[in-house]
Chains A and B, each alone.
Chain A
Amino acid sequence: MTEPAVRTAAETHGPRQVVRNPRWIGALIAVVGILLTGVASWTTARVDENSEERLLSQQTKQAAAVLSTAILLVEEPLSTALTLQKEGGPAAGSAAFTRFMTSYVGTGKPFVSASLWQRQGDGVVPLATTGVAPALAPSSAAAHAYVLRALDSKTTVTQRVSAGAQSRIAWAKADPKTGLAVYAERAIPADRRSPVDRNSAFASLHYAIYIGPHITDAALSTTDVDPASLPLGGTTARAAIPFGDTVLTLVTTPHAHLGSPLSRWLPLLILVCGLLLTLIATIAGLWLVRGRREAEQDASTITTLYEQVESLYGQQRDLFERLQRALLPHAHPDMPELEFASKYVAGAHGIEIGGDWFSVVALDEHRFAFVVGDVSGRGVDTVAVMAQARFTIRAYLLDGQQPAAALEKCSRQFDIATDGHLTTVIAGIGDVRTGEVTIANAGHPAPLLLNGDVRPVQAPPGRPLGTGPALYRQTTFHLSPGATMFCFTDGLVERRGEDIDVGLGRLATTLLEADGRSVDELVSYAVTTLRNPDASDDIAALAIRRVDVR
């Protein structure tokens, strides 16, 4: 007997463990989550930054355009005054100029001082002056040089000038044809602070405006921040605006987020949500992995239990089969005139075995008795009834009873009401000298005679053993030399959902196919061919061939 192949849970569990330590899984999920979150957040931040730079650049361009317009507006009176003076001609004097400029010169007006000049020879002379004393006094060489510069220039000339503590911007616009020039000074606030510009173009910007291309404290014109904090830091944009014969340099930096609030907060939002999701995923991952591992352990335990149960069933089945085989004959009588072959096959399913049997015994030198039977049901008590039937019938036959008498006596000893089983039997005796065989049938399929053709022995069935006392008829037939009698149990022919006659026909065909082979081969072929691997019923087959000695 084989030892049960009992395996412990640890043995089967170890090498098959797929899931690693949950902590590693958790760490992996966390790292991946943090990485993804970081990348997403950084990317969004970069996008926002780019968008901010683009917006700053756009807004700075707008601001520069606004500034450009403002410069034109400031210059406009100077141009107009020059045109007026020109149209008036040399005789008109400077009254028109003075009158016109009065509207533009004074406190709260664009200019603090303005003067009209006329080329005279290589130099210039002031014709009229209005407003406060200019930083460049009309009598000064600097003023003359400045106006001359304007006369030589095709554009307005601008310059920063100082009048005491006050910084001003000096403008000079000239008409080279008539030699007329207008000079004006515009004050720069002492603190350089200018609310320039409520204009929306400046709404989100800090700015500093420098005269000239260089960003120096000395060149600073106006700003909206504390001049001490200049130059502007952080992200800045710069624009150059033509200003007379020089440029104004506009430097800006955003003091508020230029893009949408979402764009600004998105990176942070993604970061927070991402980390939160990572945390949840990590916890969920740990939980799932633990659950999975527990399930695997459970499954492993169950598998082991199944294997053990299976093994125990196997042992039990093994035991029953050994018991049954012990009850079947190991050798057939040694009669030179006859060849015997037999086979028993247990049912396919379960541990329960059936109650099929066969038996052949020599009665004397020339006569033999044989029995094939089938006890209904399965299990060890079936085998017990089978053993009882087998030995009882054999005893009667050995005692010299005819088959019908043996079955009749048996019918009184078996009762389904007490032992729970029906038993069908073919019992027979034969004489090798004549080939005469006499059988009685207790509800069993009739044997088949095979001799070039195949036909059933006409043996009308009596009641099975177990139904109560019964009488049996005997049938005597002739077994010709070379002919084979084939006895079997219903397991060989019966299939669910199929008429029994179909199975009987299949058996007849199969036997014919194997006619001419040895009895051993005949039985093996029939059982192998007809056995349904899924059938639960067991099969017994016995073939007796009368040797053809001619």
Chain B
Amino acid sequence: MAAFVTTTSQDSAPVLAVSGDLDISGVDEFLAHADRLLALDADAIEVDLSGVTFIDSSGLGALVRLHNTAADAGRELRLTNVPRPVTRILELTGLTDLFAERPES
């Protein structure tokens, strides 16, 4: 199970921090939180993956959907604090260049 914390402020992009296993069981909740952040008046949204311990193909799909939705809305999606295992998965699945911000590790 994944846990989600959202942080919003006047000066910077809203942040959705994810921790735990981002898998098929947490995808709907993840997208619901993200949609709320997208509804805010901000140029970008940030997804902090520092607490993610596992991501499966459904989790990847959710990131892609969020990216595409944000792009359609003219927003930038930034993945931050990407742990190495997730970085590797992004590399192996050819998704690294999809996300505007290069993953940090």
Contact = CB atoms under 8 A, between A and B. Distances in A.
Interface stretch (B2-10, B37-45, B91-99): B91-99
B98 A424 contact: no
Interface in B2-51: 21, 24
B92 A461 contact: yes
B95 A496 contact: no
B85 A499 contact: yes
B54 A497 contact: yes
Interface of B is mostly: helix
A421 B93 contact: no
Given A463-B98, A500-B85, A468 B54 contact: no
A23 to B, nearest CB: 51
Nearest to A504: B92
A422 B61 contact: yes
Interface in B53-68: 53-54, 56-58, 60-61, 64-65, 68
Interface in A372-410: 374, 376-378
Nearest to B96: A461
B95 A464 contact: yes
Contacts of A494: 56
A490 interface: yes
Interface stretch (A161-169, A190-198, A311-319, A441-449): A441-449
A464 B94 contact: yes
A467 B58 contact: no
Given A442-B94, A461-B93, A467-B98, A374 B57 contact: yes
A467 B64 contact: yes
Q: Interface centre among B64, B69, B85, B88, by most A CB within 10 Å?
A: B64
A16 to B, nearest CB: 36
Given A466-B64, A499-B85, A376 B92 contact: no
A234 B84 CA distance: 102
Classify chain A: how many residues form its interface, as a range. Answer: 20 to 34
A267 interface: no
Interface string A481-495: 000000000100010
B93 A443 contact: yes
A376 B84 CA distance: 21
A466 B53 contact: no
B54 to A, nearest CB: 5
B93 A424 contact: yes
A407 B19 CA distance: 34
B51 to A, nearest CB: 13
A409 to B, nearest CB: 17
B21 to A, nearest CB: 6
Q: Interface centre among B57, B64, B85, by most A CB within 10 Å?
A: B57
Contacts of A464: 60, 64, 93-95
Nearest to B53: A497
B88 to A, nearest CB: 5
A501 B58 CA distance: 20
Given A417-B65, A496-B54, A499-B84, A376 B94 contact: no
Contacts of B92: 443, 445, 461, 500
B83 to A, nearest CB: 10
Contact of B95 (A377, A443, A497, A499): A443
Interface in B70-105: 84-85, 88-89, 91-95, 98
Contacts of B84: 499
A495 B33 CA distance: 27
A376 B61 contact: yes
Given A443-B94, A466-B64, A467-B98, A422 B57 contact: yes
A163 B92 CA distance: 141
Given A443-B92, A462-B94, A499-B84, A467 B68 contact: yes
Contacts of B61: 376-377, 416, 420-422, 466
B64 to A, nearest CB: 5
Contacts of B98: 463, 467
A417 B69 contact: yes
A421 B60 CA distance: 10
A48 interface: no
A537 interface: yes
B57 A490 contact: yes
A399 to B, nearest CB: 24
Contacts of B93: 422, 424, 443-444, 461, 463-464
Contacts of B95: 443, 463-464, 467
A498 B56 CA distance: 12
Contact of B57 (A424, A461, A501): A424
28 contacts: A374-B57, A376-B58, A376-B60, A376-B61, A377-B24, A377-B58, A416-B64, A417-B65, A422-B57, A422-B60, A424-B57, A443-B92, A443-B95, A444-B93, A461-B92, A463-B94, A463-B95, A464-B60, A464-B94, A467-B64, A467-B95, A490-B57, A494-B56, A496-B53, A496-B54, A497-B53, A498-B85, A500-B85
Given A416-B61, A464-B60, A496-B21, 20 more contacts: A376-B56, A376-B58, A421-B61, A444-B93, A461-B92, A461-B93, A461-B94, A464-B94, A467-B64, A467-B68, A468-B68, A494-B56, A496-B53, A496-B54, A497-B53, A499-B88, A500-B85, A500-B89, A501-B88, A537-B56
Interface of A: 374, 376-378, 416-417, 420-422, 424, 441-445, 460-464, 466-468, 490, 494, 496-501, 537
The 7 closest A-B pairs by CB, nearest first: A461-B94, A376-B57, A443-B93, A443-B94, A422-B61, A496-B54, A376-B61
